[in-house]
Structure 1
Amino acid sequence: MQTQDTAVSKLFIGIDIHKKSWRIHTATDLFMGKGITMPAEPKALQKYVDTHFKDYEVYTAYESGCCGYSAHRAFIRYGWKSLVFNPADLARTGKLRYQKTDVLDAELICKELRDGRLKGITVPEVEREHLRCLFRRRNDLVKDFRRIKSTIKSQLLYLGIKLPAEYDNSNWSHAFRDWIRDLSFEYPTVEAALESRMNQYDYIDQEFRYISNELRLWCRTHYKKDYKLLRSIPGIGPIVACGILSELGDLRRFSNFRQLAAYIGLIPGMTQSGESKVRSRGMNPRSHRLMRSYFVEATWQALRYDPVMQAYYRKHAGKDTKAILVKVARKLLSRTLAVIKTETPYQVGVIE
């Protein structure tokens, strides 16, 4: 009886991705291959594989970063198995902690991929990725807003102009802006400089309002169900809800609360050795910094409008204020996950 080999040979490709070129390292399930540098194009890698490794089952991996997920999606279309992973998850030992080159990185990624030690991140679908771009644009405009406000006030301080008491706050009313524009100076040069800054303020203000409206409109239209569920929670306003939908995606993908808390970064760092007690090292530095800050800010609003949250906060009164706030933020995050998974709007004042 003639036997036939039905096993499919596997090819593992570790890629160190850059803007203009890729450094790749190949290996099969039998031996380590070689590394080469090629143009930063998925088609170039496909041509290389078709030439040298035809009929292989292909596995690829690269670090998430500035180049996004377009290469990953191209590999999936080719019928390959692709993995995008967090750079912090790449184990570096010995000399690799002090030696970092594209050659070493590609080889290490290839080895880790072949040995099955890499764990991929969740790649968002294209619609949510594009929504994320809109949400992050809004956050950039918030930074620009703060910067231009600070610059204008610094300019007035430098010129020795004291703000009236009714305008000396963070609220920039139309009356305050008109007051700035009505200021007169001995020379027109400083007036031109100040007018230019005010024009920049008006532009940022207009763009900020436009982007915010587009963001809310898209979420209300395309994620209506989850958006309404999130808005039922005290503290979760329109922008925080949009941030959850764009940055975190569908919360149903998290199997439990601990996974979500770890992803956001609302879990403590801990140390313990031998007989010693477990000690907290404060907030975990590995986090989704943007959404963690949003949840902490949303906590203040939750404390204002939800008696259950207020009671929980008072129960820990007298301790470290920041630590208490993080505890309440975790409770708010837990509530957010529960509302989405049960698809039941939150009822204010109901004890959990």
Structure 2
Amino acid sequence: MINNFLGIDISKDRFDVSLSFISNKGKRETRKRSFKNNDHGFQGLLSFLQKHNVEQVKACMEATGCYSEALAEFLHNTGHFVSVVNPACIRFYAKSKLIRQKNDQTDAEIIADYCQRQEPIRWASPSPELKKLKHLYRCSAALKDELTLVNNHLEKKERLPKEVANAWEDLAMNIKQKIERIKNSLRELLNKHKELLENFQLLLTIPGIGEESAVAILAEVPNIKAFKDARQLAAYAGAIPRNITSGTSVHAKPRLSKSGSRTLCKAMYFPAIVAKNHNPTIMTFCKRLKEKSKHNMAIVGAAMRKLLHIVFGVLRSKKAFDPDHIKNYRARSLAESLVL
């Protein structure tokens, strides 16, 4: 059992830590330090832990994308227990403790306390091919957003000076070429790795999921086995409803929680619309909601959540989409949960 806890508040250039450990005298003590967010700082953190005779620590940090990934992987590879949590968890935990100050050292101390009392799950480092897939997908998505902005400038290009129109057209052509290169790299990566390709092909059997959506799911869902059930996957994507009711007077309209991965939630929006009209399982589901006079956007949100349930079933069972198989899989999952 690990009795040493490390809270890490990380930013672009540096990270602050708060170490709660059992000293040689048998008493719990706290030490704080700040390090640069680079390889030299990582080694400095190891020296800091060794100085206080801490052989293994439970480290916890907020998920801050590229700022936290390198340190999380470094600590994981050096044998420490690492948790990477949703920043909202830390924010609401601090509010529950009535913390009034907000600075890096205080945040690190709160994260260390959260780590000790809430026992977040262990973070698993993704495989090199999954990391590459994620970077390629996000690069492609960002380039497509840029292309949309450039094309907006070209909608009335006849009203623009010739030099300006040519500049926008050249930029659009350049972005298109880069998107095509990324697409080719994605194809090569999928063809190189058997498991990735199998999961990709399985996802394509689901009506509503196209090639781009399948890549987005594989890139943004770290490991399907990390989710206990389909509800956890839907929550991870921020696709579960947030009901707001209190007493007899407060009855706000339910909305998507959006407290999960915004990238995955965004990637699932258009597939849900397609599935609502072409996926037999989701079509029947949405028809029942429409008969109950549900709002159109509420139906789309429900379709998104239902589609993620199907994705979970297909990837976990390693079987192509089949309406009857999905029903059997859900029944089996329910039975297993009742036994547990």
Which bracket does the TM-score occupy, shorter chain normalised? Answer: 0.7 to 0.9
Query: Identity of counterpart residues, as a percentage?
Result: 24
Unaligned runs of 5+ in 1: 1-7, 160-189
The amino acid that maps onto 2:15 is: W
**Equivalent residue of 2:304, what SS?**
helix
Q: Which moved more, 1:80-89 or 1:192-201?
A: 80-89
Pair 1:267 & 2:278 matched: no
Q: How does 1:318-337 map onto structure 2 within 5 Å?
A: 318-337=293-312
Aligned to 1:35: 32
Q: How does 1:73-88 map onto structure 2 within 5 Å?
A: 73-88=73-88
> Deviation digits for residues 272-323 of structure 1, max 9, x if unmatched?
4467898653110302222222222012322443344334333333531111
Aligned to 1:61: 60
Q: Which moved more, 1:206-215 or 1:260-269?
A: 206-215
Query: How many pairs does the alignment contain?
Result: 313
> Deviation digits for residues 250-283 of structure 1, max 9, x if unmatched?
3233221111111111211123446789865311
Higher helix content, 1 or 2? 2
**Equivalent residue of 1:255, what SS?**
coil
**Equivalent residue of 1:325, what SS?**
helix
Pair 1:199 & 2:175 matched: no
> Deviation digits for residues 11-37 of structure 1, max 9, x if unmatched?
322222233332222221432323222
Aligned to 1:256: 229
User: How far apart, in 2, do the equivalents of 1:316 and 1:326 lie?
Assistant: 11
Equivalent position to 1:312, from 279, 282, 285 = 285
**Equivalent residue of 1:316, what SS?**
helix
User: How far apart, in 1, do the equivalents of 2:323 and 2:222 lie?
Assistant: 25
Unaligned runs of 5+ in 2: 328-340
Contact 1:85 / 1:120 at 8 angstroms: preserved in 2? no
- Greater Rg over alpha carbons, structure: 1
Equivalent position to 1:100, from 87, 97, 102 = 102
User: How far apart, in 2, do the equivalents of 1:77 and 1:122 lie?
Assistant: 10
User: How far apart, in 2, do the equivalents of 1:303 and 1:116 lie?
Assistant: 39
Equivalent position to 1:218, from 174, 189, 193 = 189
Distance 1:240 1:196, change over 3 A: same
**Equivalent residue of 1:153, what SS?**
coil
CA RMSD, 1 decimal: 2.8
Contact 2:76 / 2:125 at 8 angstroms: preserved in 1? no
Aligned to 1:110: 112
Equivalent position to 2:9, from 6, 10, 16 = 16
> Deviation digits for residues 159-210 of structure 1, max 9, x if unmatched?
5xxxxxxxxxxxxxxxxxxxxxxxxxxxxxx222211111111111111122
User: How far apart, in 2, do the equivalents of 1:57 and 1:280 lie?
Assistant: 47
